[in-house]
Amino acid sequence: MRLCLLAAVALSLAAQTPPASKEGAAPTGNAQNGKKIFESYGCYQCHDHDGHGGAGARLAPNPIPFAQFSRYVRRPAGEMPPYTAKVVSDQELADIYAFLGTIPAPPPVKNIPQLNH
């Protein structure tokens, strides 16, 4: 668990980097299929069903640039298991990325009474 959290910290920092340089532009993806395989391929296990993070890093809203995202998924530097092209195609990665792009921002903290004590 501790190890997972350390990896989460590393990727969480990445998740907060400014989005989408030209080089990192994402290919067109099908968000609906992305949502489906985010579940079936087990991404939700560490990143929760909406990509908000859990044992793994927060992926959404505002996902990191696609190139960085893709590179990490293929060859993770931390605890994440690798998702090679043999099990997740480039198109499927684009679909997942498109799904992450649809996750809305949370309500502002100041509007949540339970977080303001």
CB of 9 to another protein, least distance (A): 7
Between the alpha carbon of residue 89 and those of residues 33, 48, 66, 96, the distances in Å are 13, 21, 14, 11
Q: How far apart are CA 45 and CA 60, in angstroms?
A: 15
Q: Is 71 in the site for another protein (CB under 8 A)?
A: no
Q: Whose Cβ is closer to another protein: residue 18's or residue 87's?
A: 87
- Using an 8 Å Cβ cutoff, are 51 and 31 in contact? no
CB of 2 to another protein, least distance (A): 7
Q: Show contacts with another protein in window 79-108 (CB under 8 A).
A: 79, 81-84, 86-88, 106-108
Q: Whose Cβ is closer to another protein: residue 22's or residue 117's?
A: 117
Q: Is 36 in the site for another protein (CB under 8 A)?
A: no
3-class DSSP state for residue 15?
helix
Q: How far apart are CA 34 and CA 13, in angstroms?
A: 23
Interface region with another protein, contact rule CB under 8 A, candidates 19-27, 44-52, 64-72, 94-102: 44-52
The burial of 29, by beta-carbon neighbours within 10 Å (0-12 exposed, 13-18 middle, 19 or more buried), is given as buried
Residues that bind another protein (CB under 8 A): 1-4, 6, 9, 40-42, 44-46, 48-50, 52-55, 58, 78-79, 81-84, 86-88, 106-109, 112, 114-117
